[in-house]
Amino acid sequence: MGTVLVTGAASGLGRAVARAVAAAGGHPLLLDRVEPDAGLPGAATAVADLADAPNAERVVADLAGRAGGLDAVVTAAGIDRCGRLADVPAPEWERVVRVNLIGTAAVIRTALPALRARRGRIVTVASTLGLRALPEASAYCASKFGVIGLSRALAAELTGEVGLTLLVPGGMSTAFFDGRPEQYRPGPDAALNDPREVAEAVLFALTRPEGCEVREMVVCPETEPSWP
The residues annotated as belonging to the active site are 140
CA–CA separation, 197 vs 194, rounded Å? 6
CA–CA separation, 17 vs 23, rounded Å? 10
User: What distances in angstroms separate CA 208 from CA 4, 122, 139, 165, one per listed residue?
Assistant: 15, 12, 33, 11
Is residue 148 classed exposed, middle or buried when 0-12, 13-18 and 19+ CB atoms within 10 A define those classes? middle
Specify whether the CB–CB gap between 101 and 146 falls below 8 A. yes
